[in-house]
Amino acid sequence: MIKRVLWLLIFISVATFAYASEADLTGSWYLKFETGLSNATGPDVKLENIVSADLGKSGDIGLGGGYQIYQKLRADLMFTYRGGLRQEIDFADQLHARANFSSVAAMLSAYYEFSDWHGTIPYLMGGLGYVHNHLDTVSITDQQAAPVASIQGGGWSNLGTQFGGGFAFKVREDWYLDAGYRYLHYGKYESDDVIRYATQTNQVFERHVGKFSANDFTVALRIRFY
């Protein structure tokens, strides 16, 4: 995954210098406000007897700023929070595990912008950054929703990657609206390695480990200033 993003960034850089004759070197800064929907892929949880596992969907919100390096190349640093995800796991023995999940990311991304077409600017993007995933306490219940056991959650920090594309629309002087898609891979997360049964007994087991990836659909407002 990281290799794919690096190759994308190399392509962006080469393509930008190839169009150096069209470059606008004024160098403007912008603020960026973003919101969207994250549709998580399967968490790939490493536990036995799993029938299904899902992290669900979540809204996300982001804030940051960027710099227009050339006419066709810009970069930004965004801080994004996803707090509405929930891990749901069904086991073959008809037990169900549930835990809230959240993720905070600081991502540095580069964008290659194609030529303006009737006020619409297509773009490609790729990014790398720091991610902190957090799994809350895992609650395990039976068919009747009676408590069976619990597992303490935990946090885990990772190198995250993302890539995608979209369209930018100029809505007024120095104001742009971006509508796009990105695939993100934000690394792993894990729980404690002790399961606490409702009978007040504890047992050490193989740590609950998953991975967080998602398809994002985003809308962002960029406001330029000089």
Type of residue found at 204? V
DSSP state letter for 26:
T
| pLDDT per residue of the chain (226 residues) written in tens, 0 to 9 | 555 544 544 454 444 443 433 435 468 999 999 999 999 998 988 788 899 999 999 999 999 999 999 889 999 999 999 999 999 999 998 999 999 999 999 999 999 999 988 889 999 999 999 999 999 999 999 999 999 999 999 999 999 999 999 999 999 888 999 999 999 999 999 999 899 999 989 999 877 789 999 999 999 999 998 7
pLDDT for res 7: 55
**Taking a C-beta distance cutoff of 8 angstroms, is the pair 58, 87 a contact?**
no
Helices and strands (DSSP H and E) totals, the chain: 1, 13
Among 2.40.160.20, 1.10.287.70, 3.40.50.2000, 3.40.50.620, name the CATH number for the domain at 2-225. Answer: 2.40.160.20
Type of residue found at 41? T
pLDDT for res 182: 98
- Of 83, 63, 66, the C-alpha closest to 75 is 66
DSSP of 79-138: EEEEEEEEEEEEETTS-EEEEEEEEEEEEEEEEEE---BTTEEEEEEEEEEEEEEEE--E
* Alpha carbon distance, N-terminus to C-terminus of the chain: 36
The residues, any chain, with a CB within 8 Å of residue 174's CB and separated by 6 or more, are 223, 224, 225
Q: Which element (helix H / strand E) includes 7?
A: helix 2-18
Reported pTM: 0.84
The residues, any chain, with a CB within 8 Å of residue 201's CB and separated by 6 or more, are none
